[in-house]
Chain A
Amino acid sequence: MEQRQQIEELIYRSCMALDDRDFKGFLEMCDAGFHYSITAYSPEIRKDMVWLDHDKAGMESLFTTLPRHNSDHSPLMRHATVYTVKIEGRHAEVVSALQVFRTALDGGATELFAVARLLDSVGLDGGTPKLARRVVKMDTRQLGYGYHIPF
């Protein structure tokens, strides 16, 4: 039970780090072979799509360059609920629901921005669980003028 709690906390802390734009902190929760993807199924073209796909170095590069770009500065809040944790030896598969809220800087109105599933693989070597792979499987495909920072 304690291990499950550690895994759940990892998922929640990863969301909080991204909310806080603590990219260094987020990457510290990921192991060296970390891989991150955003995917979605399009009923319009009847195909699975990949919207973002990076290894750990690619994520680091993304986080480094984004401040040089023009972006929406509204903060996001990622609300995750861990549904299932399947532990197999030194590895766990975790399925969570994700809701992403965006709050306008002017006036502070909050809107539901996106819903998705987080499909995480978690490595359990070394005592501290680490993210080995994250797939953000988007239900929402209409993001208005969008956002630069991944979910």
Chain B
Amino acid sequence: MAKNSAEWAAKPKFPSSHYVDSRIYTDQAIFDEEKEKLFKGSWIIACHESEIPNACDYRLFTHPTGVPLIIVRSEDMKVRSFYNICPHRGNTILYDPAGNAKRMTCIFHAWSFDTRGDCIDISRAEQGYQDRFCKEDAGLREVKAEAGFGGFVWVNLDDASCTLAEYIGPALDMLGPHMEEPMEVFHFHKAIVDTNYKLWHDTNSEFYHDFVHYFNRITGMMQPGYFDRKYVGYPNGHASVGSMEIKYDAYAGGKVRKVGWPGLAPGGWILIDIFPGMTYNLRTSVLRIDTVVPLGPNKLIVEFRGLGLKRDTKEERAERVFDHNTIWGPFGRNLHEDLLAVHGQGRAMREGTDSRWVIHGREENSTIHDEVGMRHFYAEWSKRMGRPSYDPLGEGRPAPARVAA
């Protein structure tokens, strides 16, 4: 039955853990608070070690809080991270997204820094600063950085944060045996979409949306084992989905994948979501990593990486690239569908549309179409934000109807 205004505004007939107020996706104040309470103290994937293989190689990364970072492999081969902000006049130090820089020199006034973040030269220092200020006073702001869990470089802006291992806990144990060999990034691209970052992460946290993917319906949903895949929630809001055997040859023109992955059953697929916006997606021959970089309540960058094994032969790598592109490349069957879907959510939920609730109410014994993965995420979100996701503004009652645009 269609609803009138009051019925549309009424809370869904589910427990409060099974729905959220859609203002958590649109409210600017909540978004600003998320940057401080969720992203600042979380470990975030900035890049992969293979992107900076040599001493003095660097990679730039804009942290989800907005802080511009340099990730650099120092001359002692340790990976470090610094603000890409000159301590002198606040200018950008490095401009190109990747490169090699033994000295990182700000073009504005030629202050130079080494790969440990120490200032090694202030132009005409004595003439201008006499004995009041020297290069020892002008180091870069260092950020905690650790490489791990498949050779990814993780950063954390909070000096007092827990360790990366404590943050991840057992969440990536299922993938551990499959990430012992060195990996290498072969694909990177960004997509900017008008949607909220949580909606992208939600898409990676539920498989009920396989109905949008013809490829997944044919190769997965219609195959044995699909409905046995189970969600497992872990501390800190992480969650995983178990494997099944994907029948790639069930898709017209598809074929059984020629290359596999160490320790993974043929056609296997493991997906693990890391709070608040990263996903490990190991699908038979390729590992895909998503990292969200929110730009606003309704604007998002997703960074996509595809990885193979460092030891790949030319032929093996070509197979992995082909497999990646078939579904996950910028012209792949599934990626466009997923991005189109969250674009549609952003369009329907943007401020002024009178969108009210988002339901996470499916219960199927934690199996593949259960929405427990999202419920697990929003329980953690609510705890860290100090706001229940079903009543984020503390109204304790259905929010007043917003005027439709």
Q: Which residues of B contact A50 (CB under 8 A)?
A: 321, 325
| Contact A52 B343, beta carbon cutoff 8 Å | no
Please state if A146 and B321 are interface contacts (CB–CB under 8 Å).
no
Contact B336 A49 (CB under 8 A): no
Given contacts A44-B98, A58-B253, A145-B339, contact A52 B331 (CB under 8 A): yes
How many A-B pairs fall under 8 Å by CB? 102
21 contacts across the A-B interface (CB closer than 8 A): A40-B189, A43-B97, A44-B97, A44-B98, A45-B51, A49-B186, A49-B321, A50-B321, A50-B325, A51-B330, A53-B322, A61-B252, A61-B253, A69-B213, A70-B337, A70-B341, A71-B336, A144-B192, A145-B336, A146-B340, A147-B336
Query: Are B333 and A44 in contact, with the CB atoms below 8 A?
Result: no
A residues 92-151 near B (Cβ < 8 Å) are 141-148, 150
**CB atoms of A52 and B325 under 8 A apart:** yes
The interface residues of chain A lying within 8 Å CB-to-CB of B331 are: 38, 51-52, 146-148, 150
Most buried by A among B185, B331, B333: B331
| From A58, A72, A143, A145, residue with most partner B Cβ within 10 Å | A145
Given contacts A52-B329, A52-B331, contact A144 B186 (CB under 8 A): no
- Contacting A65 at CB < 8 Å: which of B187, B192, B252, B339? B252
Interface contact A45-B98, CB-CB below 8 Å:
yes
**Chain A 36-73 interface residues, beta-carbon cutoff 8 Å to B:** 38, 40, 42-47, 49-53, 57-58, 61-62, 64-65, 68-72
The reply to whether the CB of B85 lies closer than 8 angstroms to some CB of chain A is no
Q: With A and B bound together, what is the CA distance between A53 and B321 in angstroms?
A: 9
Known: A49-B187, A53-B325. A146 touches B253 (CB 8 A): no
Return the chain B residue nearest A138 by Cβ: B330
Chain B 205-227 interface mask (CB, 8 Å, partner A; 1/0)? 00000001111000000000000
Q: Which A residue sits closest to B340, measured CB to CB?
A: A145
Docked-complex contact B192 and A142, CB < 8 angstroms = yes
Residues of chain A within 8 A of B343, CB atoms compared: 144-145
Of all chain B residues, the one with the shortest Cβ separation from A142 is B190
In the bound complex, CA of A61 to CA of B96 (Å): 39
Residues of A within 8 Å of B191, CB to CB, are: 142-146
A43-B98, A45-B185, A141-B190 known; A146 and B252 CB under 8 Å?
no
- Identify which of A51, A64, A69, A150 contacts B337 (C-beta below 8 A): A69
Chain A nearest Cβ from B123, distance in angstroms: 29
Do the beta carbons of B322 and A146 come within 8 Å of each other? no
Tell me the A residues contacting B by CB distance below 8 Å.
Answer: 38, 40, 42-47, 49-53, 57-58, 61-62, 64-65, 68-72, 141-148, 150
Q: Which residues of B contact A145 (CB under 8 A)?
A: 191, 193, 336, 339-340, 342-343
B234 is an interface residue with CB less than 8 A from chain A:
no
Measured between beta carbons, the chain A residues less than 8 angstroms from B333 are 65, 69, 148
Please name all residues of chain A whose beta carbon is closer than 8 Å to the beta carbon of B51 when the two chains form the complex: 44-46
Determine if B152 is an interface residue (Cβ-Cβ < 8 Å). no
Q: Does B360 contact A (CB under 8 A)?
A: no
* Interface check B108, CB cutoff 8 A: no
A93 to B189, CA, bound (A): 29
Of all chain A residues, the one with the shortest Cβ separation from B317 is: A50
Residue contact B189 to A42, C-beta cutoff 8 Å: yes
Known: A58-B253, A65-B253, A72-B340. A44 touches B193 (CB 8 A): no
B215 contacts across to A, CB distance below 8 A:
69
Known: A47-B186, A64-B252. 7 other contacts (CB 8 A): A44-B51, A61-B252, A70-B340, A72-B340, A145-B193, A147-B336, A148-B336
Could you tell me if B340 and A71 are in contact, using CB atoms closer than 8 angstroms? yes
Is A146 a contact of B335 with CB atoms below 8 Å?
Answer: yes
Report the nearest B residue to A64, measured CB to CB: B252
Q: Which of A40, A64, A70, A72 contacts B253 (CB 8 A)?
A: A64
Q: When chains A and B are docked, how far (Å) is the Cα of A38 from the Cα of B326?
A: 12
Bound-state Cα–Cα, A52 to B321, Å: 9
Contact with A along B324-358 (1 / 0, CB 8 A): 01000111010111011111000000000000000
In the docked arrangement, what's the CA distance between A45 and B57, Å? Answer: 11
The 9 nearest A-B residue pairs measured at CB: A61-B253, A145-B339, A146-B336, A44-B97, A145-B343, A68-B214, A45-B188, A70-B337, A69-B214
Residues of A within 8 A of B330 (CB): 51, 141, 143, 146
Chain A residue with Cβ nearest B341: A70
Contact between A44 and B340 (Cβ–Cβ < 8 Å)? no
CA distance A143 to B192 in the complex (A): 8
Which residues of B are found within 8 Å of A62, using beta-carbon distances? 253
B251 at the interface (CB under 8 A from A): yes
- Report whether A142 and B189 are in contact in the complex, using a CB–CB cutoff of 8 Å: yes
> Which chain A positions have C-beta within 8 A of B73?
none
The verdict on B288 contacting chain A, using a C-beta distance below 8 Å, is no
The yes or no answer to B59 lying at the interface (CB within 8 A) is yes
